[in-house]
Structure 1
Amino acid sequence: MQKNLVIVESPAKAKTIEKFLGKDFKVLSSYGHIRDLKKKQFSIDIEDDFKPHYEIPVDKKKIVTQLKEEAEKAETVWLASDEDREGEAIAWHLYEVLKLKPEQTKRIVFHEITKGAILKAIENPRNIDINLVDAQQARRILDRIVGFELSPVLWKKVKPALSAGRVQSVAVRLIVEREREIHAFRTEAAYRVTAIFLVPDADGKLIEMKAELARRIKTKAEAQKFLESCKSSTFTINDINTRPLKKTPAAPFTTSTLQQEAARKLGFTVAQTMMVAQRLYESGNITYMRTDSVNLSEYAVNGSKEAITHLMGERYVFPRHFATKTKGAQEAHEAIRPTYMENAKIEGTAQERKLYDLIWKRTIA
């Protein structure tokens, strides 16, 4: 009888984790969700407290059979899917479908795929978080209700094959309302007055100084009258304020800020960014890429200090602690960062290297 079976959702993740665990551990992948709502049916019993009806898809039956056989042979089954809602739901579905027993099942989560993080997770197992599972189920049920109720209306009124979603339907509504506001807006013309003055500097050399009138003038006649009056006017500088300018670096990446920056600097689509980030995470190069926290662990801060000292010198070390302002954000989670700060470069595809470089530079900054 084998001692330990670890189940993750991704085969690439399984391969990386297997390198860190000894011969007493076997690591297998569920290849994502192993069951879902029935495809061609509504599959939600609204009369019975919105109870969902799940099925194992045909393409997952072979995997489920294999996992069942391996789970029966193991003393302990470790459910090691991701730490978000979807990951928790995958762990719960595995527990239910494989008919696992509480005494032989342990749930573990980790924010990065490193040997230290995996071993620490195994030392601190927990139970399946049913609140996270319920959150995922509620989201999935809402998707199905909105999709099944609204999509047929779109097919009749707009165009066949269109889909309505829990999020996109609301987003389209907001866009339409904003567009209506734009169309209803009535523009008003106004004149802006800008002047260029030749001012002597400390050495008597004339330099250009730009100034702008603080108000807008409504009519052309009024603007011309003002300009005529300026011809005979004398202009003086009443006061000069000198202030130090302080520029602070941007906070470490969350999922949304990584997507924005990758689009701006690398031209990546959202899907492309998440696909590349997933590969970087599964190969152990970055921490988990779905997060709304800008928090960095002490381990990451210390690793950054060492990397900065080595690359640039100690005078550039200035640690900052960013606070997450997003309501409900998980402060225990971390921002997206490299797992090893000393690795300024990695091996991989051109896309992986570019995205990793973006993440490494943001974290170091």
Structure 2
Amino acid sequence: MVIVESPAKAKTISKYLGQRYKVKASMGHVIDLPKSQMGISIEEGFEPKYITIRGKGDVLAELKKEAKKADNIYLAADPDREGEAISWHLKRALKIDEKGQNGKCRVEFNEITKEAIKEAFKTPREIDYNLVNAQQARRILDRLVGYQISPILWKKVRKGLSAGRVQSVAVKMICEREEEIRKFEPEEYWSLTANLKKDETLFDAKLHQIEGKKAEIPNKEKMDEILSHLDGKDFVVKQVEKKERKKNPSPPFITSTLQQEAYKKLNFSARKTMRIAQQLYEGINLKKEGLVGLITYLRTDSTRVSQTALMQAKEHILSEYGKEYFPGKVKEYKGKKKAQDAHEAIRPTRPDLTPDNIKDELEQDQYRLYKLIWERFVASQMSPAVFDTVSADIEAGDMIFRANGNKIKFLGFMKLYSEEKKEKDKILPALVENDKLELEDLLPKQHFTQPPPRYTEASLVKTLEQEGVGRPSTYAPIIETIQSKGYVVKEERNFVPTELGEIVLEQLLEFFSEVIDVKFTAEMEDKLDLVEEGKENWKDVLNEFYESFKKQVEVAEEEMKEIELEEEETDVICDKCGKNMIIKHGRFGKFLACPDFPECKNTKSIVKELNVKCPECEGTIVERKSKKGRKFYGCNNYPDCEFVVWYKPIEDKNCPECNAFMVERGRKNKYYQCSNKNCEHTEQEEAKASYS
């Protein structure tokens, strides 16, 4: 008998093991701490009080029944701390030691392929109690923090709030960034571009130096002075430097980089990325081969790749692209210092299963994520891209302008994959020292320094990982929690703290500053890693933490003041009970709710009207949000009028060709497009600042 977590994984493994084995699913954890109480006996050395999870009694009973019939029982949960803990709980519940297996019941594999499964079952091992203890320590730490701080917040601020060892640090980061943005004072600066010509070829050069120092132009007065100085000056090539630049591919994905890249390229949330990656790992039904695990285990922070997979990638590159695209030997990437190296990087289990070959057998989102993982892995073993670059310094009086050009000489790995948008050639004319150039125009431009950007999911994940806070596998639920509790909301893909989030953080900073300190949280992760390595005792780690934490809880219970959170009342009347509705914060931003909740559960979305007429019924276009939080724009006469558009309509701007309203497109390089599908008119966004 083999026990795994999910039915999908059970089906795939069953196919490889054959009829002698019965593969059952535990549906995740079956035993855990109770939800109704803390479930930890602190006085008895942090002894956990485990119970069968509510609703899992039948699952456990079925497993016990099947276990009695089995000659041997193997526990094949995921190869990480959680999987080890699931296996440990099952071993005790099913009394596996009595089966005469010498305790060797744990089977571990990094990918669900025939070879990996067969090999794993040849060498079962005992439960790794260091891994179990690391999981117990993390679980109890989180329980101590959550179950002792949260009730204080319920009493002093509002019912239903929560605090967490890692989630509160994430909220802190978002709030601190918002405070930086509020305090930011923009500073004016200017740039100057010379539009030059040689042999009928136009190109740009930017002002680089003034009297041998870096060019700094703080205001219009200085710009006028520079323009005056340049009046009538010759532009002469002083120096030309040509180089060859190489760009190396990125390593294959780890959990955090997969979450970041899937967000940037596919617009997937961290949770969606992990859910789809789990499906690809557990097995997809392919017509010719049946159930196949397409990727290796998805929770990893190691860039290590097996020699077998490296050879498979090499063969694919040589056969599909040619020897010039393979760098001569396989690349082995160095991971970060504290990486847990037990698992490989996230890669395809079989590079021969190319995304396009199995596209028709995958759901669209599965295909897109598999393609991203497959391309990143194969590209990681390809040759560098090579660029010819040229840099020219052009003298005008005592000023130096610099022109840069580049040309792709060899695509290398970029033929398959690039993190950035496709690099374009920027060609300069053949410039030679002492060439005299024609000045076509001088283009001064005013700028203002920008505040630091708000966090997106990708940048928050990146920062949490860089700071060593939490584990990449926990980032998705953390991001979900801080939104569902109303601490932060998403605006234009960016995290913005709510008033509630800032108030809660203020209290946590006053009474639990150590618990939500980034450095302290990172050090705690290091200690959990030492427990996993058998270098620290898990109860010693808990005891050391709890000594100071207990005092902080006692002070907070006594001294934290009760806070009255005023609800923002609106003039919108609840159509079910007639009361004025109030503004609430939810996972996808603000919404209207009845103040009489839970007696009246009526809610409405907050509608923002735009000064744009509906082209189908002369109603007004309003901003709405889908159930998944995506913004769209529709007619206020819905459901009578179902006109909808996904891109933001521009107020007071109509198409010069058909008079339909224009919409805003593009993220970085914005442009306008006609909303009429039969009209192809587009135009660039007007410059927001210019010299006058």
TM over 0.5: yes
CA distance in 2, matches of 1:153, 1:232: 73
Q: Which of these residues, 278, 288, 293, is aligned with residue 302 of structure 2? A: 293
Using the TM superposition, give the Cα deviation of residue 310 of structure 1 relative to its aligned residue in structure 2, in angstroms.
3.0
Spell out, residue by residue over 1:240-273, the C-alpha distance to the aligned partner (whole angstroms, 9 max, x if none).
1111121222211111111112122222111111
Using the TM superposition, give the Cα deviation of residue 320 of structure 1 relative to its aligned residue in structure 2, in angstroms.
4.1
Using the TM superposition, give the Cα deviation of residue 303 of structure 1 relative to its aligned residue in structure 2, in angstroms.
1.1
Q: Which of these residues, 196, 199, 205, is aligned with residue 210 of structure 1? A: 205
Q: Give the match for residue 66 of structure 1.
A: 62
Q: Give the match for residue 164 of structure 2.
A: 165
Matched to 1:227, the amino acid is: L
Using the TM superposition, give the Cα deviation of residue 360 of structure 1 relative to its aligned residue in structure 2, in angstroms.
1.1
CA distance in 2, matches of 1:70, 1:235: 87
Q: Give the match for residue 310 of structure 1.
A: 319
Using the TM superposition, give the Cα deviation of residue 235 of structure 1 relative to its aligned residue in structure 2, in angstroms.
3.6
Distance 1:320 1:198, change over 3 A: same
Q: Give the match for residue 8 of structure 1.
A: 4
2:20 corresponds to 1:24: yes
Matched to 2:246, the amino acid is: K
CA distance in 2, matches of 1:291, 1:308: 25
CA distance in 2, matches of 1:157, 1:135: 33
The answer to whether the Cα contact below 8 Å between 1:8 and 1:81 also exists between their aligned partners in 2 is yes
Q: Give the match for residue 196 of structure 2.
A: 198
Distance 1:320 1:212, change over 3 A: farther
2:267 corresponds to 1:267: yes
Q: Which of these residues, 37, 42, 47, is aligned with residue 46 of structure 1? A: 42
Q: Provide TM-score, normalisation by structure 2.
A: 0.50
The answer to whether the Cα contact below 8 Å between 1:295 and 1:321 also exists between their aligned partners in 2 is no
1:21-170 matched pairs, under 5 angstroms: 21-101=17-97, 103-104=100-101, 105=103, 106-170=105-169
Q: Give the match for residue 366 of structure 2.
A: 352
Q: Secondary structure at the match of 1:42?
A: coil
Spell out, residue by residue over 1:32-68, the C-alpha distance to the aligned partner (whole angstroms, 9 max, x if none).
1011101101111111221111100231111111212
2:343 corresponds to 1:333: yes
The answer to whether the Cα contact below 8 Å between 2:348 and 2:373 also exists between their aligned partners in 1 is yes
**Which structure is higher in strand share?**
2
Matched to 1:164, the amino acid is: A
Spell out, residue by residue over 1:221-255, the C-alpha distance to the aligned partner (whole angstroms, 9 max, x if none).
23322221121433433211111121222211111
Q: Secondary structure at the match of 2:241?
A: coil
Number of positions where the alignment pairs a residue of Structure 1 with one of Structure 2 = 357
**Which structure is higher in helix share?**
1
C-alpha root-mean-square deviation of aligned residues, in Å?
A: 1.9
Q: Secondary structure at the match of 2:71?
A: strand
CA distance in 2, matches of 1:42, 1:287: 36
Distance 1:177 1:67, change over 3 A: same
Q: Give the match for residue 222 of structure 2.
A: 222
Structure 2: gaps spanning 5 or more residues? 209-213, 284-292, 380-692
**Which one is further off, 163-172 or 311-320?**
311-320
Structure 1: gaps spanning 5 or more residues? none
The answer to whether the Cα contact below 8 Å between 2:32 and 2:53 also exists between their aligned partners in 1 is yes
The answer to whether the Cα contact below 8 Å between 1:296 and 1:321 also exists between their aligned partners in 2 is no
Using the TM superposition, give the Cα deviation of residue 279 of structure 1 relative to its aligned residue in structure 2, in angstroms.
0.8
Using the TM superposition, give the Cα deviation of residue 130 of structure 1 relative to its aligned residue in structure 2, in angstroms.
0.9
The answer to whether the Cα contact below 8 Å between 1:88 and 1:129 also exists between their aligned partners in 2 is yes
Matched to 1:34, the amino acid is: V
The answer to whether the Cα contact below 8 Å between 2:304 and 2:335 also exists between their aligned partners in 1 is no
Using the TM superposition, give the Cα deviation of residue 107 of structure 1 relative to its aligned residue in structure 2, in angstroms.
0.8
**Which one is further off, 224-233 or 112-121?**
224-233
Q: Percent identity?
A: 48
Q: Provide TM-score, normalisation by structure 1.
A: 0.91
**Which one is further off, 244-253 or 100-109?**
100-109
**Which one is further off, 33-42 or 100-109?**
100-109
Using the TM superposition, give the Cα deviation of residue 206 of structure 1 relative to its aligned residue in structure 2, in angstroms.
4.2
The answer to whether the Cα contact below 8 Å between 1:324 and 1:331 also exists between their aligned partners in 2 is no
CA distance in 2, matches of 1:58, 1:152: 23
CA distance in 2, matches of 1:219, 1:304: 55
